[in-house]
Amino acid sequence: MPYAADHKDRTRARIVDSARVLFNRHGFESVSIDEVMKNAGLTRGGFYHHFESKESLYAAAVSSFTSCNPFADRLETDPRRRTPRALAELLVDTYLSDETLADVDRHCPLIALPSDVARAGLQPRAAYTQLVESMLEIFRAAFARGDRQGRRKAQLIVNLCVGGMLIARTTDDPGLRKQLRAAARGEALRLLGSADVRGGPRARTPLRGSSSSPAGR
């Protein structure tokens, strides 16, 4: 029986999904092609029909986060039209939330894989840079076109979101994890001009497909 027309695309997506999870859990160096394919329910022989190297797979896994992440889930679950500022605030809340911290398998590569990307070659670095630019675009749009400091403030917010979550992942103190993210969230919302700058990361609707593992495992 011939394969469906989209069989190759679906198979490639399975490989990328498998790689993204395993790279997040174990890092680039510690995961083999065999392990990625086994986790995807496939054999190694099919790998090179879709990717030329482990590095190209890594780049694809990093790039896939732009459409497969907690922020995209929330937009899909609640597709109402939002102002650019409301979108930026939602991204801050989502990025620094308890649910996102707990969902290790779907952590943003900006917090899960920075040291790996620095060693993995040009393709992963290009994909990683695109993630940064995508975040910057959302935050930059929240400021008026005439705001000469808009891009600088957008860059600061990216630093706060990524840095706040990255440091929170490194501590086993639950209270400190919340405080670090609350401080980052408050400063990010202040830069956005939001009236809601108090309190810690807000809990919202559980993320689709989120991990049940405790935060910071």
Look at residue 140 and tell me if it is in a domain.
yes
Alpha carbon separation from 137 to 25, 65, 88, 132, 202 (Å, rounded):
28, 16, 10, 9, 23
Residues 168 and 122 in one domain: yes
Q: Enumerate helices (H) and strands (E) in the chain, giving the number of each.
A: 11, 0
Residues 159 and 142 in one domain: yes
Look at residue 175 and tell me if it is in a domain.
yes
Whole-model pTM? 0.80
Amino acid 66: pLDDT: 84
Identify the domain containing residue 95 by its residue range. 70-192
Query: Could you tell me the CATH number of the domain that includes residue 74?
Result: 1.10.357.10
Taking only the tens place, the pLDDT of each residue in 77-126 is 888 888 999 999 999 999 999 999 998 888 888 887 666 766 667 787 88
Query: Could you tell me the CATH number of the domain that includes residue 59?
Result: 1.10.10.60
Residue 217 has pLDDT above 60, yes or no: no
Alpha carbon separation from 95 to 13, 31, 50, 135, 163 (Å, rounded):
24, 26, 31, 11, 11
Taking only the tens place, the pLDDT of each residue in 23-73 is 988 888 889 999 999 999 999 888 999 999 998 998 999 898 888 888 988
Amino acid 78: pLDDT: 87
Contacts of 201 (CB under 8 A, 6+ apart): 93, 96, 97, 98, 101, 178, 181, 182, 185
Residue where a domain terminates, one of 36, 64, 92: 64
Q: Are 18 and 43 in contact (CB under 8 A)?
A: no
